[in-house]
């Protein structure tokens, strides 16, 4: 395995050290394996790795997946990884997602405030920020070909039997924390989902060059 870079913000590094990838079930590892295989194949060909995480509204799970995948690529020093997110429709990045990431150590700045706010999400001093906002999967901000489409919710998986331009289409679905919105468990459940996604993206990228 390549040595890890130490450019991530310290709070994020400390969170990563506390993750428990050994708790991922064998069934779930089988779900994650195609993404590992895609990344490994591109690395072995010295190709750029483009991953577009897709859910219905591009408001919660797809953003968490994009941010954590990009962060783990940096942590494991897997170069030329570019992570994106999109939806079958555009809505807005839900504020609790930004708050959850901020509580995990990411630097969050609001670039524009409107019905679909745009956020700058930084995980390291010397890396470009992730630009977070809700968009359709085929938005000009996203790649048009040679990417892996990862479907993070069942409805997007069913609505997108074909993702045009995708080299690979992989369903890796997560339970929606939205069901806990406006409840006393909201912050806890968003953090729980974020940590699950972080753990699984850690596992995926830890398999590359290991």
Alpha-carbon gap, residue 143 to 192, rounded angstroms: 30
pLDDT tens sequence across 55-113:
999 999 999 999 999 999 999 999 999 999 999 999 999 999 999 999 999 999 999 99
pLDDT tens sequence across 154-179:
887 787 778 999 999 999 999 999 99
Report the Cα–Cα distance between both ends of the chain, in Å, rounded.
Answer: 4
Dig out the tokens for 57 from the structure. Answer: 């509204």
pTM for the model: 0.95
* Count of Cβ atoms closer than 10 Å to residue 134 Cβ: 24
Q: How far from chain centre, in Å, is Cα 145?
A: 19
Helices (H) and strands (E) in the chain, counts: 6, 7
The residues that bridge with 30 in the sheet, in sequence order, are none
For residue 5, what pLDDT band results from cuts at 50, 70 and 90?
low
Indicate if the pLDDT at residue 210 is higher than 70.
Answer: no
Give the rounded percent of residues in the chain with a pLDDT score beyond 90: 91
């Amino acid at each position: 395995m390549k040595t890890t870079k130490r450019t991530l913000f310290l709070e994020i590094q400390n969170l990563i050290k506390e993750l428990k990838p050994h708790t991922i079930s064998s069934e779930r590892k089988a779900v994650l394996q195609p993404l590992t295989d895609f990344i490994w194949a591109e690395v072995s060909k010295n190709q750029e790795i483009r991953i577009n995480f897709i859910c219905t509204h591009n408001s919660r799970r797809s953003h968490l997946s994009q941010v954590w995948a990009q962060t783990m690529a940096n942590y494991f020093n897997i170069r030329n990884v570019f992570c994106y997110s999109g939806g079958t429709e555009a809505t807005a990045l839900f504020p609790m997602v930004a708050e959850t990431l901020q509580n995990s150590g990411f630097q969050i700045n609001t670039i524009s405030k409107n019905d679909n706010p745009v956020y700058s999400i930084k995980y390291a001093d010397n890396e470009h920020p992730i630009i977070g906002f809700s968009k359709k999967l085929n938005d000009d901000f996203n790649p048009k070909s040679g990417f892996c489409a990862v479907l993070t919710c069942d409805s997007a998986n069913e609505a997108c039997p074909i993702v045009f331009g995708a080299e690979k289409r992989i369903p890796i679905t997560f339970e929606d924390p939205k069901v806990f919105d406006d409840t006393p468990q909201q912050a806890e459940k968003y953090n729980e989902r974020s940590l699950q996604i972080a753990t699984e993206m850690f596992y995926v990228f830890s398999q590359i060059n290991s």
